[in-house]
Structure 1
Amino acid sequence: MNLIELIEIKEEQVGGTYPQVIEKNKQRKKLCERCKLNGKKEIAKYNVYDFEDELVEQLCEACTNSVSEDVDISKIIY
């Protein structure tokens, strides 16, 4: 989701391209769920789907090494 904020209205400039985006909102990256429980702030890079337990987790690379092989792992594209 992108948010647009009107800061001010100016006169139109000759030869300018419109609409102009002056500042873009920062993208919010998700934190690793397991690291967050331990007080660490690691960015989640993978969605881990465990179909047996019907569980979906967002994990960092280090935490995906400790999951079982019976899960589906897909990379999060930021």
Structure 2
Amino acid sequence: MPVDIVSPIDGVIFKCRGNGYYDEPEIKKAGERVSGTNEYNPTCIMQVADTSKMIVKLEVSESEILKLKKICRSG
């Protein structure tokens, strides 16, 4: 039976994270069947992330840091 899935938050859709045992799961497509929740192997359909506020940890070379500051201020 088809079911509409609605997110309680606005955001961006991402692939589900792999669990290390299987290949990285793909985003499910419209019409694709998925199994119900199983306590040992739940089905992740997609992840929704609110990207309006983000904390990013990264390493940037000294020669590139000025470019990064310019981009962050204009964004």
TM beyond 0.5: no
| Structure with more contact order per residue of length (Cα contacts < 8 Å, sep ≥ 6) | 2
Task: Say which structure is richer in strand.
Answer: 1
Q: TM-score, normalised by structure 2?
A: 0.22
- Give the greater-gyration-radius structure (CA): 1
